Amino acid sequence: MTEIETPKGLIAGPDGRTRCAWHGNLPDYLRYHDEEWGRPVTDDIRLFEKICLEGFQSGLSWLTILRKRQSFRAAFAGFDIDAVADFGEEDIARCVADAGIVRHRGKIVSTINNARRAQDMRAEFGTLARYFWRFEPALHERPSSVTHAEIAANPTTPVSVRISKDLKKRGWTFVGPTTVYAFMQAMGLVNDHIEGCICRQPIEELRASFVRP
């Protein structure tokens, strides 16, 4: 019998079903792919956590950050925006000494700064969700078919560039266009599960019934 070749960017999981290949069938990464990535999020804590962790991820793999996520949550008060905004020099020193997280002083200071900027944003928009979801790409701004080649060729998009520029104008740091696009993919502002992945259609259905903030 001839083995059927899996299209590029897809992989057969332990259950025999086809998914995006990037999780490599590592159990924790596969669970993140199936249960979190691409599902629309409106919770401000999760949005703040994710954009901060994407900043920490810069230069590293997301799997490294995912496996440290609980330690990051402990270090940064569960990413409670007001609590992190109150961090001072003692907290910075504590985080720099914390082997459970990425001990990059600049990124730690950035997280505190971004919490303060997030407070400003909530004062203006009510929630972070209202700010971010107003940038959701229109249909004409999305590819007609979400393929591995399309995703690989576009680590940024015009929308992620717009968000990045606006965040930087508002004083946010470590929010470049690539970081922002990874945030958009994870938080469901776009559905980048590629054609043939078992999660693509369920997330399309979720997005169809999702109430935008």
Cβ atoms of 184 and 190 within 8 Å: the answer is: yes
The two tokens of residue 7 are 């299209």
pTM of this structure: 0.95
Within 8 A by CB and 6+ apart from 202, the residues are: none
The pLDDT of residue 4: 46
* Residues with catalytic function: 32, 54, 62
Of 3, 37, 60, the C-alpha closest to 198 is 37
pLDDT tens for the chain, 213 residues long, are 334 456 789 999 999 999 999 999 999 999 999 999 999 999 999 999 999 999 999 889 999 999 999 999 999 999 999 999 999 999 999 999 999 999 999 999 999 999 999 999 999 999 999 999 999 999 999 999 999 999 999 999 999 999 999 999 999 999 999 999 999 999 999 999 999 999 999 999 999 999 999
Cβ atoms of 145 and 138 within 8 Å: the answer is: no
Of 123, 113, 107, 118, the C-alpha closest to 44 is 118
User: From CA 103, how far away is CA 189, in angstroms rounded?
Assistant: 29
User: From CA 153, how far away is CA 166, in angstroms rounded?
Assistant: 24
